[in-house]
Structure 1
Amino acid sequence: MSRRIVCLRHGQTLWNVERRFQGHSDIPLDETGVAQAARAASLLASLRPTMIVSSDLQRANDTALALARIVGLDVAVDKDFRERGGGQWEGLTREQIAARWPEEFVAWEAPDGEPVGEVAVRVAAAMRRWAARLDDDGLLVVASHGAALRLGICELLGLPEQLWPALGGLSNCSWSVLQEGRKGWRLLEHNAGTLPEPVISDDRPEV
């Protein structure tokens, strides 16, 4: 056995439905999101997680708490699992962003926002830090956000940045599974759990 990480994206929010960039804005789960979190929790409980950690934003933390209540674990909170900061884009729809910042929209780089490379390093470092606390056969569940998780996974796997778009986005309350091997971390599953749900996220439009 070896250590594993389940990367769980939070449930749906109203801003997801409205396709607004959430970033660091602390938006709660909507009714659908609460139901999604409960369903994901019932499935992930069978994996017998040994540790749960979440972003400090309530949409991720409430998703984590749904699982914690079933498996009897506490939820640790780490702000390094926050979503990518959206700067001036937070609260705006994709149509509004494209109209006001056409060049930045194509590059998906928000004015005053967080660069993708910094997000990838931040999230991957947090994954490594928490995974290091696991027993050899432990399972860590990280409840976080779509762009943050995808970028962190790419960095953890050692993928060069030009290949990051090859990994698709995460739907609400879907998850990816990583396992530590002799040569580092590998991806066992990606965007599992609720397919074929659409990906409505702060992540790049093409992923």
Structure 2
Amino acid sequence: MTAARLIIWRHGRTAWNATGRFQGQADIPLDEVGRGQAAAAAPRIAALGPTAIVASDLSRAAETADALARVTGLTVTYDRRLREIDVGSWEGLTVATVEQQDPGHVHDHHLGADFRRSATGETAGEVADRVAAALTEIVGAADDDAVVVAVMHGLAGRVGMARFLDLEPNRFGGMRNCGWINLERHRLGHWLVREYNATAPETGMPAPEDRVA
């Protein structure tokens, strides 16, 4: 069995998103704007006919998933493999501070290198592997006509989707808060990207830089 559709949905805005701080796996809740974004986007996601919702266990993803659960009546399940990249000692720091402390980060980012987010954090490649493994397991366990919504994070969603499709993560830009990716399984078994970074009009925001996870 394999789901017919997979929706990867990024959480709404947090205060740390708004101030350009590295979040990583810090458990930062949605701010007022983020809650409004989730409420606005939920009916759009519901219109795609979801049959299951699985979310990262971090509160910003869980709160976003709850907005969809209220509209659809579905129960949310959680998978910690869908968490955002671990940024280690960069957690809570601004981009400017990280650039001062680790100027090599800027160089690696501009080159598109797969660099480690601080000495104690993860690389995008490591995140891609764990998220893709989770997505493969989740859709593989679903019925053939299922529409699965995976509620997660910007970088994790982008690179995990790319690895799931056996593509290079750097082929895709950053995801907006409450933006979603719509993947449809072709009758021959491969997956098609029907939408990328789609948003409800009420939630439209500039896409963030992936450095701020």
The answer on 1:184 being equivalent to 2:185 is no
State the one-letter code of the partner of 2:172.
Answer: L
Shift of 1:183: 4.6
1:129-158 C-alpha deviation (Å, 9 max, x unpaired): 111122211100010000000000110111
State the one-letter code of the partner of 1:191.
Answer: N
State which drifts further: 54-63 or 175-184: 175-184
Partner of residue 173 from structure 1, selected from 178, 181, 184: 178
Corresponding residue number in structure 2 for 1:148? 156
State the one-letter code of the partner of 2:199.
Answer: G
State the one-letter code of the partner of 1:122.
Answer: R
Superposed CA RMSD? 1.7
Gaps of 5+ in 2: 110-115
Corresponding residue number in structure 2 for 1:69? 70
The answer on 1:130 being equivalent to 2:138 is yes
Corresponding residue number in structure 1 for 2:81? 80
Corresponding residue number in structure 1 for 2:7? 6
CA distance in 2, matches of 1:139, 1:87: 34
Corresponding residue number in structure 1 for 2:167? 159
1:41-96 C-alpha deviation (Å, 9 max, x unpaired): 11111112000000000000000010011101100000000000001111000000
SS of aligned partner of 2:142: coil
Corresponding residue number in structure 2 for 1:22? 23
CA distance in 2, matches of 1:9, 1:106: 27
Shift of 1:105: 3.4
Give the TM-score taking structure 2 as reference length. Answer: 0.89
Shift of 1:199: 1.7
State which drifts further: 38-47 or 60-69: 38-47
Shift of 1:115: 1.2
Corresponding residue number in structure 1 for 2:45? 44
Q: After TM superposition, which residue ranges in structure 1, 4 or more long, deviate above 6 angstroms?
A: none
Corresponding residue number in structure 2 for 1:198? 206
Corresponding residue number in structure 2 for 1:60? 61
State the one-letter code of the partner of 2:180.
Answer: W
SS of aligned partner of 1:47: coil
SS of aligned partner of 2:47: helix
Shift of 1:165: 1.9
SS of aligned partner of 1:7: strand
